[in-house]
Structure 1
Amino acid sequence: MAMKWYVVHTYSNFENQAKKSLEERIRLENLQDLFGEILIPMEQVVEMVKGEKKTSRRKFFPGYIFVQMELNDRSWHLVKNTPKITGFPGAAQNEQPTPISDAEVARLTSQISEGTLKPKPKVQFSDGDTVRVIDGPFANFNGTVEEVNAEKGRVKVLVSIFGRATPVELDFMQVEKTTG
C-alpha cells in the first residue's frame, strides 16, 4: 500500500511539539516504514516593527500538521494517541480519515516553497489609517490610506503636498502606521 497525505489536527500553537512527539513515537514503536514526511506548512512574512523590517515565519494552517503515512490500525492509533494531537478532522471517533488528493499536496508544497522564497508583507493597513512615509521621495510626509492592495503588497496613500491631497502608491515597507 502506498503512502498518502493526511491532515492531522493539533492543539493550537503546539504544532511543533505535536510533530516532535509523533516523530519520537514513530521511532520508539519502530514504525518508520509506515511514515514519510511530517510537514508544518510555513511562510515568511515581513512587517515593520518600530521602524525596522522584521522577518518572521507564520503557519499557513494554524492547528494542523500534514502527515505522509500508510494508513492501517497501528499507524492510525499511533497518530490519534500522540500528545498534542486531537485527531483527524472530518473523521468520526473511530472512522478512517480521507487522504488529501495529490493535486492538493502539489499545490500545498508549491505554496510552501513560494512562501520561503518570496517573503510576504504582513497586511497591517486599512482604508482611513493615518500613516507616515518612511522611505522614498515622500519620506516624512503623513497621509491617509485610501486603498490597500494586499496581493501586490502596495498601499495608495493621500499625501498633502502644497496643501493638496495627492494620491501616492507605495510599498507596504515604505509606510508605517502613526499612533494616535
Structure 2
Amino acid sequence: MSELQQPMWYVVHTYSGHENKVKATIEKAVKTRGMEDCITQVVVPTEDVVETTKTGKEKTRQRKVYPSYVLVKMIITDESWYVVRNTKGVTGFVGPGSKPVPLSEDEVKAMGIDLSVPKIATGDIDLEINDTVKIAKGPFSGQIGNVEEINLDTKEIKVCISAFGKETLFSVEFDGIEKI
C-alpha cells in the first residue's frame, strides 16, 4: 500500500432503510479497529424537505437523497474493503463485479457532499471532533475533555474526560459544554 494514496469516495449499496445503521456500524468498526487513516468519512446524503401536515402546518424533515446508498471516503485495502463489505445491511460496492469504482470529485460535488473537513455548528458553538471543551452542567461540571462524537439528532456530544482514575466517555447536551 502506497503512503501517498489518498482516500477516495465510494458508493456502497445497502438494504432499504438501513443506511443510518450501516453508517453507524462502519464508524464503530473503524474506531474499534483503529482504521481512521483508511476509512475517513461515511455519509448518508440527505436534504431538508418542507411538508404540509393534515392540519395545514408546515413541517421540515430530512429525506435521503439516494435511498439504499451510503458514501464512504476510504483507501481500498483488503482490510478496509472487508470491513465495509461485511457490515450488516451492506449488499456490496457499486462497480463491476466486486471491484469498487471511486467517484470523481465532480460527481461528489454534484451529490452535494462538502469536500472540506466537516465542522459542526451547534448553536453558538462551532465544534469539531478532538476539540477541547469544558463541561458546564451536570455531575462532571468543570471537567475538561476532548470531543469524541457529535450527534446532531439527539443534540448530544460525547466527551472523553478523566474520571474515576481512567478515561471515561460522557454524553452531554450541546448547551452543557463550553469550547476552550
TM-score of Structure 1 vs Structure 2, range by shorter chain: 0.5 to 0.7
Distance 1:38 1:103, change over 3 A: same
Indicate the SS of the match to 1:33: coil
The partner residue of 2:48 within 40, 44, 48 is 44
Q: Deviations over 1:128-161 (max 9, x none)?
A: xxxxxxxxxxxxxxxxxxxxxxxxxxxxxxxxxx
Q: CA deviation at 1:14?
A: 0.8
The partner residue of 2:65 within 60, 69, 72 is 60
The partner residue of 2:6 within 2, 5, 8 is 2
Distance 1:8 1:109, change over 3 A: same
Do the aligned residues in 1 keep the contact of 2:94 with 2:101 (CA within 8 Å)?
no
Do the aligned residues in 1 keep the contact of 2:11 with 2:71 (CA within 8 Å)?
yes
Q: Pairwise mapping of residues 143-154 of structure 1 onto structure 2 (< 5 A)?
A: none
Q: Which residue of the partner structure matches residue 11 of structure 1?
A: 15
Aligned residue pairs, count: 109
Q: CA deviation at 1:91?
A: 3.2
The TM-score normalised by the length of structure 1 is: 0.58
| Partner Cα separation in structure 1 for residue 13 and residue 33 of structure 2 | 21
Letter in 2 for 1:44: D
Q: Among the aligned pairs, what percent are the same residue?
A: 39
Q: CA deviation at 1:110?
A: 5.7
| Partner Cα separation in structure 2 for residue 106 and residue 9 of structure 1 | 19
Letter in 2 for 1:83: K
The partner residue of 2:100 within 97, 101, 104 is 97
- Unpaired runs of 5+ residues, structure 1, are 112-180
Q: CA deviation at 1:75?
A: 0.6
Q: Deviations over 1:47-98 (max 9, x none)?
A: 1112111111100000000000001111111100111111112331xx3211
Q: Which moved more, 1:28-37 or 1:64-73?
A: 28-37
The partner residue of 1:32 within 3, 17, 36 is 36
The structure 1 segments of at least 4 consecutive aligned residues displaced by more than 4 Å after TM superposition are none
Q: Deviations over 1:19-39 (max 9, x none)?
A: 001111111111111011111
Q: Which residue of the partner structure matches residue 112 of structure 2?
A: 109
CA-based RMSD: 1.4
| Partner Cα separation in structure 2 for residue 91 and residue 29 of structure 1 | 28
| Partner Cα separation in structure 2 for residue 110 and residue 43 of structure 1 | 11
| Partner Cα separation in structure 1 for residue 24 and residue 113 of structure 2 | 24
- Unpaired runs of 5+ residues, structure 2, are 115-180
Do the aligned residues in 1 keep the contact of 2:38 with 2:74 (CA within 8 Å)?
yes
